[in-house]
Chain A
Amino acid sequence: MAYKLLVIVVLLIASAAQTSACTFSSNNNGLLKANPAFGFVYSNNPASVIITTVVSSTLIVDPVSSFADAPSGVALTQPILFSGVLGGFPLEGSPSAGYTVVIEEPGNYILNLSVDRAWISPTIIAGNYTVQSNIHCNPN
């Protein structure tokens, strides 16, 4: 009986491992630049990461409505507008509301994510800026 249960639980564990939606590797930071004339920050070099899926998955790129780091007094006037390319195809959806991308075929995919516009009020203050975009996967 115990042996039987052990087999069942081992199968459950194996099944859980199989449903691991994505793993991420080779994460590279993007670079931000300021456009003081028009009052926004953008990336002149995208962030990138390799996404590996072993099952059909859904990649979720969360929206970003605040800087992770910015000079005092700086605020976003609206969620950051992103664009991106996954496996050679542009992300489709709302640039400001995040992206949800179905990855049907398991494999390795390169995600390049860019900050198109981070509109700032009242003006771009000199200093360091950091934007963090959280991404995660769910099994389909």
Chain B
Amino acid sequence: MNKLLTILTVIASLSLASATLKAETLTFTGTAPASCTFSGTSPGTLSNTSSAVFSTGQAGTTVTNNSAAAYTLDVAAVSSFSSAPSGATMSGAASITTTLVGANAATDTSAAAQQFSLTTAGVDTVAIDINSATVTPTVLAGAYAIEVVLTCSSV
């Protein structure tokens, strides 16, 4: 008799427990693709000597990449003005200093193309200085502009 009572009580308890354990999990899934973007790009300023132009204010931009070692930041060599007085041309390539501050801190000075490995996902502030761009035959009066092209390239 007592045994029957115990068994039935246990059955009743288990049944009660299962009645209150009603739960479900809703799941959301998705994949964020790798990306490398530029933002907050600002122009620099140029000044000159009699034979060259150089920057007195840095141009800047912010590079945000979200995948470690998936991209390089490429800075193209510059061998011509995007605008200049008629008859003034760039002699050779401009010497450029590129400085990254942030997730992938680095600096490079060169007249050749530069490449930075974005080994860490994150944000980098990029500053561009034109050290010198020699003008042939001489610096003529007028407006000069130099465009430095930065590219995120997939590794």
Interface of A is mostly: strand
B30, A41: Cβ atoms under 8 Å? Answer: yes
Contacts of B28-71 to chain A: CB distance below 8 A? 28-35, 37, 64, 66-67, 70
A34, B32: Cβ atoms under 8 Å? Answer: yes
Contacts of A4-58 to chain B: CB distance below 8 A? 5-6, 9, 12-13, 16-17, 19-24, 27, 29-34, 36-37, 41, 43, 47-49
Instruction: Tell me how far the C-beta of A8 lies from the nearest C-beta in chain B, rounded to whole angstroms.
Output: 9
Complex formed: what's the CA distance from A124 to B33 in Å? 9
Q: Which among B16, B19, B28, B123 is the interface contact of A32 at CB below 8 angstroms?
A: B28
Instruction: Tell me how far the C-beta of B73 lies from the nearest C-beta in chain A, rounded to whole angstroms.
Output: 16
A43, B64: Cβ atoms under 8 Å? Answer: no
For A49, what are the chain B residues with a Cβ–Cβ distance below 8 Å? 24, 26
Q: Which among A1, A20, A126 is the interface contact of B67 at CB below 8 angstroms?
A: A126
For B32, what are the chain A residues with a Cβ–Cβ distance below 8 Å? 34, 36, 41, 71, 124-127, 129
A19, B19: Cβ atoms under 8 Å? Answer: yes
In the complex, whether B20 has a CB less than 8 A from a CB of chain A is: yes
Q: How large is the interface on B (under 10, 10 to 19, 20 to 34, 35 or more residues)?
A: 20 to 34
Residue of B at shortest CB range from A70?
B32
Which of B19, B29, B34, B35 has the largest number of chain A CB atoms within 10 A?
B29
For A124, what are the chain B residues with a Cβ–Cβ distance below 8 Å? 32, 66
For B37, what are the chain A residues with a Cβ–Cβ distance below 8 Å? 36-37
For A68, what are the chain B residues with a Cβ–Cβ distance below 8 Å? 27
B4, A30: Cβ atoms under 8 Å? Answer: no
Interface size on A, residues (CB 8 A): 53
Encode contact with A along B93-114: 1 for CB under 8 Å, 0 otherwise: 0000000000000000000000
B35, A24: Cβ atoms under 8 Å? Answer: no
Which of A13, A21, A31, A49 has the largest number of chain B CB atoms within 10 A?
A13
In the complex, whether A103 has a CB less than 8 A from a CB of chain B is: no
Instruction: Tell me how far the C-beta of A102 lies from the nearest C-beta in chain B, rounded to whole angstroms.
Output: 16
In the complex, whether A137 has a CB less than 8 A from a CB of chain B is: yes
**Which 3 pairs, one residue from A and one from B, show the smallest C-beta to C-beta distance?**
A32-B30, A34-B32, A24-B24
